[in-house]
Amino acid sequence: MFVPESALLAAAEIPSFSLEKLDWSNQSKWPMITVPSGESVDRNVTLDSSYEFHDGQEYEVTLTASLLVFVGEADDAGAALFPLRMPVSATAHFRW
């Protein structure tokens, strides 16, 4: 199953350059989510745009992503260590 980028981002958020080139100098051009210390943020993904689900069927869906994490500010002593690329995934089993 492939989830199109348009299912994850609004049209105005789809970047025109590569994630491989994301760094402190251009990170402000990317859609970012700021997560306060000790908290979490949810992002909804609409799956029906990528697959035709059928009533009464069981499904197992795994979403994977690489989170690019910036900590602190560009002029901090450890700024050269960022962005961190953290692979994450989650699997859900459900009946449609």
Model pLDDT for residues 27-62, shown as the tens digit of each residue: 777 777 778 888 888 877 777 767 788 888 999 988
Structure token digits, residue 89:
């995934």
Q: What percent of the chain has pLDDT over 70?
A: 77
Question: Is residue 24 a contact partner of residue 68, using CB atoms and an 8 Å limit?
Answer: no
Mean pLDDT rounded to a whole number for the chain = 78
Q: Could you tell me the pTM of the whole model?
A: 0.53
DSSP 15: -
Residue ranges covered by each domain of the chain = 5-95
CA 84 – CA 66 distance, rounded (Å): 9
Chain segment 74-85, per-residue pLDDT in tens? 888 888 888 888
93 pLDDT band (50/70/90 cuts)?
Answer: very high
Question: Who wins on pLDDT, 81 or 8?
Answer: 81
Beta bridge partners of 69: 84
Rounded distance, CA 40 to CA 86, Å?
16
pLDDT, residue 1, reads 46
